[in-house]
Structure 1
């Protein structure tokens, strides 16, 4: 069952899919060239809602580009600013380098040029991240979303993180977005690291999934003059993030309830706070269900109920049990979405 449409939808765009190939806030940043890279001179406006796309698989566990195409045709009806590919929700750690690059190539061919394509390029080493970022740019990514290296988290001091991101930004031919997701990495980018890196001309923003609104508001305030944009990393605190000045959100729930999340953005921009508050309340339990409670298997299951293809995850992630499916359904139905 598809969710009711509560916003006028954008006119669907024609997608050119080739199976054998691939408002308010601070002003968008204008880039100048940086040493070692080829930073673009045009503006990059991050404001808006982005779904971090899931990766569909065939019954044999291969990346299913046909199913990805079907999902993208449906997402073309939703007024997203763009799409995030090969992030945490895309099961990027479970994909080979070749698979990750091919998915980005295919999506760039399928998605309108008006839509931003933000590609996860973070690896554990600085060298590997630089290489992956260059390759993702070559496949058509508009910006690189770089998660914190965390395997040796005890050694990831502020100095080490600043050095890592600076080296990546200097070498990157596309803008870099910092990505702090402590629930997955066990490491939160320290405030002083973000504030230092925000001064770099090729580091344009931060996706913060930690959920600390005080921190998020502080970073928005302290980077206001740096032309640096902060994006909420979850639908559960999207309203609060807009209140303190966030530019948008990269939200797993947008894979399922994209139109309501875009409506929430619109309500915030027009100052319709009562309606925004009510909508946010209805999104909290479904968001918890597809993130903290059941994770990607829960998200993919929910996608099936709303007309998208979710399918199985790649091992070692397991599908939900019958009991979990029932509980997940209740989290959506009790809030009026099913």
Structure 2
């Protein structure tokens, strides 16, 4: 599965009483599907996954899959402390035609041996119904040696290195340089998603009996045949925080998934677009514009700040789930000032 480009980490909408608001989630996803991103990520850090029950998490995964445009790559955060729990959630996501799962270090293994952590990821990758993207968080960063060991597993396609700097990305690129895989892409080198495959497989069927007097057999309409090609990719690295997107790309990352992209997808995409077009000066200008803004909202105000930014830009943010507290009046005013002029 191709992971290049900008991935939008979805927030999880709640009503004022704290209940899951699936209608607002679906409306957000429909609008995000019009934004210039390669894919959508459900139940990443901005989705408050630790605040959800397993049943609520399944509701979120289903709502996203049913509302997203078919060409958007769908990634599901499925991490649970147990191997069995993670695999169950991965299987559920596979049934909804997600394209990959995001798996991080389980809480029970913090401070434990590298051998236990390696075994955990290997067991997930061995049995997961979907390709695995490793998730390295700043407070639980995966070692380069561990990533290098896992990169050779056929079920592990890449890593979201949240908060990685250029040096870290360059090191991961060097450690995983031997990994080369063929992925299926469209005629314009975009990802072919699971829902695109399912839609094509379930295309318009016609009976041969309607075309001739001979015995009828099921035939697929020729117009459903999609042109695809293959592309060689390495171990795919996505950067996290928006402040380090450009440095990550310079180090060899193929894309980004920044929390700030949930409330400003267009502004974040413009950094990647300028880089892809070879205009490094413009990419630097776009990055500088976002750097300080995103750092305050993304790193200091966190999920409540991201959600308020969504409210300002026409997406439903709403409240975070307790014990996360809403922004103060002063903080709301600060976010409004910071995001002035950043509209989608």
Q: Give the TM-score, by structure 1 length.
A: 0.82
- 1:145 paired residue among 102, 106, 114: 102
- Name whichever of 217-226 and 112-121 sits farther off: 217-226
Aligned-partner Cα distance in 1 for 2:132–2:153: 10
Q: CA deviation at 1:213?
A: 2.2
The reply to whether residue 132 of structure 1 matches residue 137 of structure 2 is no
The reply to whether residue 269 of structure 1 matches residue 226 of structure 2 is no
Instruction: Kindly indicate whether the alpha-carbon contact (under 8 Å) linking 1:301 and 1:310 is maintained by their aligned counterparts in 2.
Output: yes
Instruction: Kindly indicate whether the alpha-carbon contact (under 8 Å) linking 1:101 and 1:139 is maintained by their aligned counterparts in 2.
Output: no
The reply to whether residue 246 of structure 1 matches residue 199 of structure 2 is no
The reply to whether residue 337 of structure 1 matches residue 327 of structure 2 is no
The reply to whether residue 258 of structure 1 matches residue 294 of structure 2 is no
Aligned residues: 289
Aligned-partner Cα distance in 2 for 1:53–1:308: 11
Aligned-partner Cα distance in 1 for 2:239–2:37: 15
Q: CA deviation at 1:232?
A: 0.4
Question: Equivalences for 1:16-31 in 2 at 5 Å?
Answer: none
2:335 alignment partner in structure 1 = 328
Q: CA deviation at 1:327?
A: 2.2
Question: Equivalences for 1:18-167 in 2 at 5 Å?
Answer: 44-155=1-112, 157-167=113-123
1:225 alignment partner in structure 2 = 178
SS in 2 for 1:151: helix
- Name whichever of 124-133 and 312-321 sits farther off: 124-133
Aligned-partner Cα distance in 1 for 2:132–2:29: 24
- 2:299 paired residue among 292, 296, 315: 292
2:151 alignment partner in structure 1 = 198
Q: CA deviation at 1:78?
A: 1.1
Instruction: Kindly indicate whether the alpha-carbon contact (under 8 Å) linking 2:239 and 2:245 is maintained by their aligned counterparts in 1.
Output: yes
Instruction: Kindly indicate whether the alpha-carbon contact (under 8 Å) linking 1:104 and 1:140 is maintained by their aligned counterparts in 2.
Output: no
Instruction: Kindly indicate whether the alpha-carbon contact (under 8 Å) linking 1:105 and 1:140 is maintained by their aligned counterparts in 2.
Output: no
SS in 2 for 1:51: strand
**CA deviation digits over 1:5-58, x for unaligned, max 9?**
xxxxxxxxxxxxxxxxxxxxxxxxxxxxxxxxxxxxxxx110010111000011
SS in 2 for 1:309: coil
Which one has a larger percent strand, Structure 1 or Structure 2?
2
Q: CA deviation at 1:178?
A: 0.2
Instruction: Kindly indicate whether the alpha-carbon contact (under 8 Å) linking 1:285 and 1:332 is maintained by their aligned counterparts in 2.
Output: no
* Higher Rg: 2
Question: What do you get for the CA RMSD once the two structures are aligned?
Answer: 1.4
Aligned-partner Cα distance in 2 for 1:77–1:221: 35
The reply to whether residue 214 of structure 1 matches residue 167 of structure 2 is yes
Q: CA deviation at 1:261?
A: 1.6
SS in 2 for 1:307: coil
Q: Give the TM-score, by structure 2 length.
A: 0.81
Instruction: Kindly indicate whether the alpha-carbon contact (under 8 Å) linking 2:109 and 2:117 is maintained by their aligned counterparts in 1.
Output: no
> Which segments of 5 or more consecutive residues in structure 1 lack a partner in the other structure?
1-43
SS in 1 for 2:134: strand
Q: CA deviation at 1:164?
A: 0.5
Aligned-partner Cα distance in 2 for 1:151–1:175: 23
Instruction: Kindly indicate whether the alpha-carbon contact (under 8 Å) linking 2:9 and 2:44 is maintained by their aligned counterparts in 1.
Output: yes
Q: CA deviation at 1:321?
A: 0.6
Aligned-partner Cα distance in 2 for 1:109–1:127: 26
Q: CA deviation at 1:152?
A: 4.0
